[in-house]
Structure formats: structure tokens, C-alpha cells
Amino acid sequence: AKLLTVLQNRQVVRVGSHKPRDIDIRLICASNMSIQKMTAQQEFRQDLLYRINTVEIQLPPLRERQEDLPLLV
């Protein structure tokens, strides 16, 4: 719930403080599970998915892209 609040309000309150600070962040998320299925099973918050799923890129796992390994290592 705290992450969703930060993403919606673009503000964060530091530990030990009561004053919200404006922030400008970019968030990159990755998962090896289907977030859509998890949302349908109520294992992932739908409102959080809505916030983080602005651009979706699906890549096959590295075990299926062995030719990419030298570029990543």
C-alpha cells in the first residue's frame, strides 16, 4: 500500500519525518510469474498493477536466448 501511495502522490515521507517530499522516479518491474493471473487470483493488487503497467515488454527467459548471454555478461 505504501508503494502505491508513493506512485500516486509522487511524494514520500522519510523515516523519522512528518514532512512529505516531492519525488520524480522511474520504476522498472520484472517478474517470472504472470501478474495478470496473480491479479485475477487476488494475489496481486489490481490498483498497483494499473499504476506500474504503463509499458509492458515481454521477453523469453535467458535459457531460450543463449545468444544474448555474451552481451549481458
Residue 44 lies in a domain: yes
Greatest alpha-carbon span in the chain: 50
In a domain? residue 35: yes
CB 45 within 8 A of CB 7: no
Is residue 68 in a domain?
A: no
- Name the domain count of the chain: 1
15, part of any domain: yes
Query: Which DSSP letter does residue 16 get?
Result: T
Taking the model in full, what pTM does it have? 0.69
What element of type H or E holds 12?
A: strand 11-13
- Tell whether 72 is covered by a domain: no
Q: Which positions ≥6 away from 39 have C-beta within 8 Å?
A: 45, 46, 49
Residue 65 is assigned to a structural domain of this protein: no
Residue 66 lies in a domain: no
Which amino acid is present at 71?
Answer: L
Tens digit of each residue's pLDDT, the chain (73 residues): 889 999 999 999 999 999 999 999 999 999 989 999 999 999 999 999 999 998 989 889 899 999 999 999 9
